[in-house]
Amino acid sequence: MGTVTWRLFADLAEVAEGREHTVSVDPDGTVGDAIDALLAESTGLRERIFDGDTIADDVNLMRNGSPADPTESVADGDELAMFPPVTGGR
């Protein structure tokens, strides 16, 4: 068992009620497992970030600062991030 830290931006942090969430994943876990662990403690986030069974087009995943895919492995101590576009300017 290891832990990874999620960082959430803009409205995602509001839906999940916090900008940072540390979750546990199995040693052979994936980014997808870490998403499941995050969703387990953040009700409402699933509806915001999923479009059907896949991550919505307007939500980007990163692992340790680089674009990531749900199928890739995570390691203990990884930093994962999820961000949407924002559009304000007025």
Partner 1 sequence: MDDVGPEGQKRLLDSRALVVGAGGLGSPVIQYLAAAGVGRLTIVDDDVVERSNLQRQTVHADADVGRPKVESASAFVADLNPDIDVVTHRTRVTKENVADIVPGHDVVVDASDNFPTRYLLNDFCRLQGVPIAHGAIYKFEGQVTTLVPGGPCYRCLFPEAPEPGTVPDCAATGVLGVLPGTVGCLQATEAVKLLLDAGDPLVGRLLFYDAMDMTFETAPYQRNPECPICGDDHVDSIDGIEYTSACAVGAD
Position 52 contacts partner 1 (CB under 8 A): no
Stretch that binds partner 1, among 29-37, 38-46, 65-73 (CB under 8 A): 65-73
DSSP annotation of 73 reads B
Q: Which residues pair with 82 in a beta bridge?
A: 8, 61
Shortest Å distance, C-beta 48 to partner 1: 7
Q: Which stretch binds partner 1 (CB under 8 A): 25-33, 34-42, 63-71?
A: 63-71
Whole-angstrom Cα distance, residue 88 to residue 50? 23
Residues in the interface with partner 1 (CB under 8 A) total 21
CB atoms closer than 10 angstroms to residue 33: 18
Residue among 38, 51, 29 nearest 82 (CA): 38
Residues near partner 1 (CB under 8 A) are 9-11, 48, 56-58, 60, 62, 65-67, 81, 83-90
